[in-house]
Chain A
Amino acid sequence: MNYLELLKLALPETIIAVMALVVLAVDLVALHELERRFRFIIGGMIACLGCAGAIVWMLISSSDANAFGGMLVVDPLTKFVKIALLVLTILTILLSMESDFTDHAGEYLALILFAAVGMMFLVSAEDILMIFIALELTSLSLYILTAFNKRDIKSAEASLKYFLFGGMSAAFTLFGLSLVYGLGGSTNLREIATALADKGLDPLLMVAIVMVVIGFGFKVAAVPFHLWAPDAYQGAPTPSAAFIASGSKVASFFIFAKVMAIGFAGEQLTQVQGSAAWHNYAGGWVPVIAMVAALSMILGNLAAIVQSSVRRLIAYSAIAHAGYMLIAVLSHNADSLASLVYYAATYGVTTIGAFGVVAVVEQGTGGEKLSDFAGLSRRAPVVSFCMLIFMLSLAGIPPLAGFFGKFYVFTAAVKSGAPDLGLLWLVILAVGMSAVSLYYYLQVLKQIYVAPVGADAGAIKVPVLTQIVLILVAAGVVVFGCAPNLLLGPLTEAVKGVGF
């Protein structure tokens, strides 16, 4: 493989990286005299243009390849996930254009793009070395993005917490992966799987798997590795928090599922491809993840009930959603992978929308407590309606995207355990917990729609761009919920093409 071909394969990532540099340079050279708002808008335009270019390239190019033994895998599925990531990136950038927490527009936007590059490489990797490098590129960018509000001590605190937990978990991941390499004798996931297939319950393998689960559990904020999430969501600048909650989640979950399902596929991979024998995996990692999923759903949902800060509420609900998505990770079959991607992508979009509304409220009232949302429906009706859609989608009310995501994940999980319905207990827990979750989502909506408006509260001025983005996102949540096949059609094709 020559470098030109490699460039062609990695062109989307290259475009984004180059655009990040362009944004930096333009901001430094041409824009630093201008007002902050213009710098954000112009820089954001360039960044969005880069993302759009990369999306277009992925849509038209038909070259699929597996370069350097899984270092860079380009196939319809990874393309699909990367496009989803770039859409989330664009939404994040659009939301950050109206922000006023920093004067360093160029650096902020460039870091978002660098994080996106990391996520894209992460999605494409089937090699543990590459996975680790991409993971670190993403994480480091996100740490900085979290700390970007230098005027707010909470932002620094959040970043430090995120960084310390993240560093620790990276160490775990690295240690786990090194053990995996030692046991499997290769860095390629598929070769590892073949080597591990006859190992059985090797204690060293167990340690390695647990380490890896810890590392990824941190990235996806699953209990008990979730402690950073509420603080990071609360302290980080809104666009950063939205990006951590959406893009980072999608990429991490995708690679988590890939490592678990391919790397630790055990006998499954060597026997029948795509069989739904979920208890056949090497080292029996399924119970471990089942525990983590159950704990995440229970703790996330119960803790969210008592939150008075909406950001923390979203954070705990994110933990709960991580639990639902983990069900898709462990019930590995063709349906569950598609359901995981659908769920993560629609969840990411919804969360960005929710953070967008939080940003509007913060600018309008100066706070993001539940009480700051009181009477919002009369102060900003359009934004309130968008929030209604986001919250109901997160709660899993049809016909919104969140409902179909859950439904698909649960169906895939039950199917996976058929005919003895082995995973039904987890699905029952999940369905029950999403009934609990309706309570706290309704608490938010109760403030917005039911609570009386304060005496001195007038209409909230919503920036035009933010309003357009929110309406688009809300429309997307409704459309993808009513016609899931728009996403699901290409997605199931892609998953089939990959041969899961």
Chain B
Amino acid sequence: MLAWTIYISFLGVLVLMLLPKGNAALARGVALLTALIGLGIGIAGLVQYSSANTADGAKRIVEVANPEWIPSLGIHYHLAADGISITLVLLTGLAAVAGILFSWNIESRAKEFFAFYLALIGGVYGVFLSFDLFLLFVFYEIAIVPKYFIIAIWGSTRREYGAMKLALYSFVGSAMVLVGLIAAYVVSGAHSFDLTDLAKYSYPQSFQMWAFPVVFIGFAILAGMWPFHTWAPTGHVAAPTAASMLLAGVVMKLGAYGCLRVAMTLFPDGLAAWKYFFAILAIIGIVYGAMVALVQKDFKFVIGYSSVSHMGFVLLGLMTLNTIGLSGAVLQMFSHGVIAGLLFAVVGRMVYERTHTRELDVLQTMGLVKVIPFAAVTFVIASMASMGLPGFSGFAAEFQIIIGAWQAFPTLAVITGLGILIGVAYTLRAMIKAFFGETAEGAAAPVSHESSAGEHHTDHCPPISFPEKLGAVLLIGVSLLIGLFPSLLLNVIKPSFESPLFDWLRRLQ
């Protein structure tokens, strides 16, 4: 059943391509329906997996499909899922639905927009469900190309530059992954790209020493690991709202997922040797991302850099190599996907498309809390979630990561605390500047600024529309739900680490 998340998305692309031109409402409807079905399948998958899991406790990996695909290379069309996959499939469904709700106002070439959008979503679903590395790579690349077009066609600030940078970074990363995969395939001599087959083979130490960093960095580029993160802020800023939400929400997770699923699983000895190196990079990412976010003038850049910082937590969690840190990392992928999506929705859709500016200094003069109170409230809640306030998903995730990190490398865990502190600072700064700025003459102030600032006007600012409210409530609700009941997801994530696929984890501990 889970495989239908992929098929339904590509089916949606086909349907959209055949739709008559210029009917944006129909295109939206088709896209939303497709995404909702995907989300429904994800939820059903989660329920099924967690109930099956508590029942017998043995079946950690759900097989979906495994027919032969290209026999001369031993490639199978192997789809399967464990708790990690299912969590991320669910996230993808959520992000897809929310993204469509927040791009409800796209009128220009709407059909093409949603076609590219669903192609991207289909690719992402595919990555999370592939257990054959060739297949995983195929889906991974399918997810790259639509991003370029979505950003280049419907984006804003320096969109062509941002789109090209993102595409080339992703492609260079996937090139590294490809080299590593081919080498791993040949060296193992297994005549199979199946993850479970390759994971059983123990590669020579000398091979792992170079293959691990190559594949890991290849994936980590997409996860926004410092110093390869620079595509992320420019890409996020250039992208239209829905694309920013997807970029932060699921695309960066592709990278982190690949690190865990491929690099760490295939090359545990390389991992053991390189873990301090990458843990340090992750912490630099956390602190650096937060510090850069602190001084940004553009509202969206603040969120863009905060993504780098939060993804640093994911990578740090991966490097802890203990179950609590790893499950924290997976939970953080989910949580950050939801929260970052919400933040980008507020900045890109609710604020930017109404005020036509993202300059914090300009926004400060507008007193937006009075103009669009719903956006202000949403952003306050999202900020609290992002800062890691207990009760939201971010807290449950980052808390686990820090516990895991404390066990693995205490010194580094302390520095991480610094990152959290700065995180509070930049979030509060952005929140206060954007929504609670001092306006000398009260609400009349923006009008007088209009003459100097061109088209920044808030006087005839449309109210927050229903789809936006729906999307915001959906994302806030999920973040709260997971924050209050993290066991909903942890119950499916944690048992996954007991599957034979994670034998390396027990060996390294």
Contact = CB atoms under 8 A, between A and B. Distances in A.
B211 to A, nearest CB: 10
Given A335-B72, A414-B182, A492-B72, A449 B171 contact: no
Contacts of B164: 439, 442
Interface stretch (B55-63, B172-180, B295-303): B172-180
Given A411-B73, A418-B187, A450 B153 contact: yes
B258 to A, nearest CB: 15
A411 B152 contact: no
A468 interface: no
Interface stretch (A78-86, A242-250, A266-274, A420-428): A420-428
B383 to A, nearest CB: 34
Contact of A450 (B160, B178, B182, B189): B160
Contact of B142 (A399, A442, A488): A399
Contacts of A398: 137-138, 141-142
A404 B73 CA distance: 11
Contacts of A418: 186-187, 189
Given A411-B185, A484-B70, A431 B175 contact: yes
B71 A446 contact: no
Given A431-B175, A435-B171, A414 B183 contact: yes
Given A435-B172, A449-B153, A442 B183 contact: no
Contact of A485 (B70, B112, B149, B186): B70
Contacts of B175: 431-432, 434-435
B314 interface: no
Given A438-B167, A438-B171, A421 B187 contact: yes
The CB with the most chain A CB atoms within 10 A, among B70, B153, B187, B189, is that of B70
Contact of B186 (A408, A421, A428, A488): A421
B141 A397 contact: yes
A419 B69 CA distance: 26
Contact of A338 (B72, B148, B149, B167): B72
Contact of B73 (A408, A431, A434, A445): A408
B171 A411 contact: no
Given A446-B160, A450-B160, A435 B168 contact: yes
B189 to A, nearest CB: 8
B145 interface: yes
Contacts of A428: 179
A233 interface: no
Contacts of B187: 418-419, 421
B327 to A, nearest CB: 31
Contacts of B153: 449-450
Contacts of B183: 414, 421, 424
A453 to B, nearest CB: 12
A202 to B, nearest CB: 33
Interface residues of A, number: 38
A414 B186 contact: yes
Contacts of B137: 398
Interface in A455-490: 484-485, 488-489
A211 B88 CA distance: 58
Interface string A390-432: 0010000111000110011011001100110100100110011
Nearest to B116: A449
A437 to B, nearest CB: 9
Nearest to A446: B152
B148 to A, nearest CB: 6
A369 B142 CA distance: 28
Nearest to A418: B186
A399 B138 contact: yes
Contacts of B186: 411, 414-415, 418, 421
The CB with the most chain A CB atoms within 10 A, among B69, B168, B183, is that of B183
B235 to A, nearest CB: 15
Contacts of B168: 435, 438-439
Contact of A427 (B72, B152, B160, B179): B179
Contacts of A432: 172, 175
Contacts of A385: 17
Interface string A331-346: 0000100100000000
Interface string A191-210: 00000000000000000000
A414 B207 CA distance: 14
A317 to B, nearest CB: 16
Nearest to A338: B72
A282 to B, nearest CB: 26
B179 to A, nearest CB: 5
Nearest to B140: A398
A6 B504 CA distance: 63
Nearest to A495: B72
Contact of A410 (B134, B138, B160, B182): B182
Interface string B13-33: 000010000000000000000
Nearest to B214: A428
Nearest to A398: B138
A488 B72 contact: yes
B466 to A, nearest CB: 31
B138 A427 contact: no
Nearest to A385: B17
A467 B108 CA distance: 26
Interface string A372-403: 00000100000001000000100001110001
A410 B153 CA distance: 34
Nearest to A413: B182
Contacts of B185: 411, 414
A449 B150 CA distance: 10
Interface string B254-283: 000000000000000000000000000000
A141 B69 CA distance: 41
Contacts of B167: 438, 442
Nearest to A381: B21
A489 B73 CA distance: 11
A431 B186 CA distance: 16
Contacts of A489: 71-72
Nearest to A421: B183
Contacts of A399: 138, 142
B141 A488 contact: no
B6 to A, nearest CB: 12
A427 B186 CA distance: 13
B15 to A, nearest CB: 15
A290 B148 CA distance: 34
Contacts of A404: 70
Contacts of A414: 182-183, 185-186
A432 B72 CA distance: 25
Contacts of A446: 152, 160
Interface string B55-83: 00000000000000111110000000000
Given A410-B182, A435-B172, A438-B167, A449 B70 contact: no
A335 B72 CA distance: 9
B300 to A, nearest CB: 21
Interface of B: 17, 69-73, 112, 134, 137-138, 141-142, 144-145, 148-149, 152-153, 160, 164, 167-168, 171-172, 175, 178-179, 182-183, 185-187, 189
9 contacts: A338-B72, A377-B112, A398-B141, A399-B138, A404-B70, A431-B178, A442-B164, A449-B152, A485-B70
Given A398-B138, A414-B185, A446-B160, 20 more contacts: A392-B145, A398-B137, A399-B138, A414-B183, A418-B187, A421-B186, A424-B179, A427-B182, A431-B178, A435-B168, A435-B171, A435-B172, A435-B175, A449-B149, A450-B149, A450-B153, A485-B72, A488-B70, A489-B71, A489-B72
Closest CB pairs A-B (n = 3): A398-B138, A431-B175, A435-B175
Interface of A: 335, 338, 377, 385, 392, 397-399, 403-404, 407-408, 410-411, 414-415, 418-419, 421, 424, 427-428, 431-432, 434-435, 438-439, 442, 445-446, 449-450, 484-485, 488-489, 492
